[in-house]
Amino acid sequence: MSNAITTTASGMLSLIHNGGLSIPKPFSKPILLLWVPVMGLQFVNGITQLLNPLDKGNKLTLVREPENRYDKFAILVKDADGQKIGYVPRRNNLVLARLMDAGKALYATVHDKSEAHAYPELSIDVYMED
């Protein structure tokens, strides 16, 4: 038998690989879930000053807003100081919101930013950690 998944007497899943037993381990590093643009930047007062200190890789906080009157799956993006930056796009937030509601820890990092358009743009990488 080359590879098979079995259940042990205790109910744990095991992977049998080439005759040896391997117990699945929790992931040991964050999992990149997706890359998205941050929406609503144009509605944040002083957004240019908030984005200025941000560099690629800077960690950002994601906060669920289930009581948001426009989107019950809304996820707010905040900088390290807790200042509102914008939102995860509605088209991308359903699964992320459900993960957060189930107690999974999600966060974001700065992917890229630009001021080449009428208002600043920011994109983020969203991660899940163990």
**CATH code of the domain covering residue 100:** 3.30.70.2330
Angle at 69 between CA 96 and CA 129, to 5 degrees: 20
Surface-to-core class of residue 39, CB atoms within 10 Å of its CB (0-12 exposed, 13-18 middle, 19+ buried): middle
For residue 80, the one-letter residue type is: A
pLDDT the model gives residue 1: 46
Question: Which range of residues forms the domain containing residue 99?
Answer: 26-129
Spatial distance between the Cα atoms of 58 and 83, rounded to a whole number of angstroms: 14
122 within a domain of the structure (yes/no): yes
Per-residue DSSP letter, 39: B
Our count of domains for the chain comes to: 1
3: in domain: no
pLDDT tens sequence across 22-78? 666 666 789 999 999 999 999 999 999 999 999 999 999 999 999 999 999 999 999
Q: Is residue 114 part of a domain?
A: yes
> Would 13 be classed as within a structural domain?
no
pLDDT of 9 reads: 53
Residue 8 placed within a domain: no
Question: What CA–CA distance (Å, rounded) separates 125 from 112?
Answer: 9
